[in-house]
A and B are shown apart, each in its own frame.
Chain A
Amino acid sequence: MKGRSVTVFTSADSKTLLRRALKYLFVSTFLVAFNLIYGLFSHGIGSDYMRYAFLFPLIGGSLASLILVFLPPPGDIVSNLWRMGLSVLVVGSLLHGIFDIYGSEVAYVTVFFIAGALLLVGALTLYIVKAIQAKR
C-alpha cells in the first residue's frame, strides 16, 4: 500500500474500457475452446456448467465494461473485487463441469458459486455506494 493511492473512481476513458471488453472477450473465447477441447476427450459427455462458463466473462466482463463507458468508472477496489468474483465463478463452473462429466457429485463446489456471488455483490454494492456519495 505504501506509495499507492487506492481510489474508488478513476478517470478510465472509453478506450481503456473497450480494451478491457476485448480482453474479457478473449477469455470467453478461451473458455469456449476449452469446452470444445475437453469435449473431444469426454466421449460426447458434456456439462452445461462447462459449456456456459464463458458467459461469466462475456456478460460480467465484456458487457459490463461496455456499459461502464456510460457510467462512472470503478476504482481499484471495485474492479479487483469484481474480477475476483468472476474468476471464482469461472473456476467453480469449470470444476462443476469436470465433476459432472466424471459422473460424481461434489457438493462443496457450491462454495465457489456462493463466494463468487458474494464478491460480485460486494463490488456492486461498493460501486453504488461510492457513486451516490460522489453525486453528493
Chain B
Amino acid sequence: MPFNPRKSLPWVVGFYIFLFLSTTFVLLFEFVIPHGGFYVEDPVITTTTTTMTTITTTSSIMTTTQSTTTTASGSFTTSTHTGIITTTEPVTTTTVPTTTTTVPETTTTTTGLTYPGTLPAVLASGTVIGTYFTDELLLTIYQIRASNSDVYVADVVVSSAYEILTALAFNTFGGTNITQTVSTMATAHNAVFAINSDYASHYDSGFVIRNGLILRSSVSNRNAIALRTDGTVTSFPETSTTVQAVLDDDAWQLWSFGPVLIKDGISVADVHDGLDRDAVNNPRSAFGAVGVNHFMFVTVDGRTDASHGADIEELAGIMMSLGCFQAYNFDGGGSATFWYDGEVINHPSDGYERKVSDCVYIRR
C-alpha cells in the first residue's frame, strides 16, 4: 500500500518523520558523535636493576646475578568509580652473561637478551625491514610473502611482559567514536613499534584488561586471550571465568576479539565459524606467542591486486609457520595497521590510516 502524505493522517506523517529522525540520530550517534568513555592513565613502569656478586667457596666459582624488579601501576577514573591498581611482579633472578644474538645477515651483540630457539624458516627467507635492540627488547621487523599477500612480522623478545603495552585513543576507554590513528598513539607514547589490537570499544561487552587494569568486566560469548605478567599467554572462553579471576591470574593484557587461531600448538581456526568476516580474504592483524616473553605481531595486507588478504585459516597457517604456540586474531580490514619507527609499514586497505580506539605498542 503506497504511502501518500496528502491522504494520510497527521499522526501518521508525524510517525514517519519521527522514524526518519530517530534513524538518522542512531547512525550519527554510532558512527560520528564522540561520546562516553572514561580517562585511563598510562601505567608507570619502573625497572630497577641491581647486580650482586656471589662467591661459592666450594667450587671457587664466582657467579654474577642480576635481580630485576618491575613494578607497574596505573589508574583510571570514571564518574562511578575510582581506583588505583598496583601490580608487582615477583622478583626474578636471571643470570645475565654477555650474549650474542644472531639475526639474518647480521650478528649483533647485546648485553640483555638472547634470541630463544631458532629463527623460523619463513622469517629467515624474508626481508628484514628493521631491527631494534635494547637490554630489555629484541625487535626485528620482517616482510614475508604468504597467502598471496605481503605480510609484516614483528618478532619480539622482551625481558618482561611489561614491555608489551596498550595505548588508548585520547587515553580514554569505553566510549564510541573516540579514536586516533595508531601512528598518533604510538608517537604520543614514544613507541618504537605499534600495531592495532582488538578495537575494544567496538563492542559493548567482553572482558578488557589493559596494562594490568580491568577496564570492562561484562562477559561476552567470545574467546579472549590473556598475556600474563610472567610472559605466558593463554586463551579461553570468557564464559568460563570472570575478569577478576583472570586479573588475579596475573593478566597484564587481555584482548577480546578473536577468534583464537592457535591453541596450545594446534590450529583451531575455522572459516565455518559463522562469522562472514572470518571466511573471506581480508587484511588481518594477529598476535602470537612462540614462548615465554617471545611474541609475534603480524599484519597481512589485503584488498589490493598485490595482496589478496587472508581468511582466518590462512592466518592461522601463517602464525603456525612463525612457530606460534598460541595465536589470536585482532581487528582487521581497514583497521589493520603495522607501525614501526615513525611510519606505517603496511598498506592500510582504505588507502589511509583508519582511526581506532586502541593499539599495542612497545616503548623505545
Contacts and interface: CB of A to CB of B under 8 A. Distances in A.
Interface of A: 1, 4, 6, 20, 23-24, 43-47, 61, 65, 76, 79-80, 83-84, 87-88, 91, 95, 98-99, 102-109
A108 B204 CA distance: 11
Interface of B: 1-3, 8-10, 12, 15-16, 19, 23, 26-27, 30-31, 199, 202-205, 276-277, 279-282, 303, 331, 333
A20 B203 contact: no
B204 A95 contact: no
Contacts, number: 65
B276 A83 contact: no
A6 B16 CA distance: 19
A95 B23 CA distance: 8
Contacts of A80: 8-9, 12
B303 A99 contact: no
A102 B333 CA distance: 10
B303 A43 contact: yes
Given A104-B30, A105-B204, A83 B3 contact: yes
A65 B26 contact: no
10 contacts: A44-B280, A84-B16, A91-B19, A95-B26, A102-B31, A103-B277, A104-B30, A104-B202, A104-B203, A105-B205
Contacts of B199: 103
A83 B202 contact: no
Given A65-B1, A80-B9, A106-B26, 18 more contacts: A1-B9, A6-B9, A20-B1, A23-B1, A43-B282, A43-B303, A44-B279, A44-B281, A45-B276, A46-B276, A80-B8, A83-B1, A91-B19, A95-B23, A103-B331, A104-B202, A104-B203, A105-B202
A104 B203 CA distance: 5
A107 B26 CA distance: 12
B326 to A, nearest CB: 23
A12 to B, nearest CB: 9
B277 A45 contact: yes
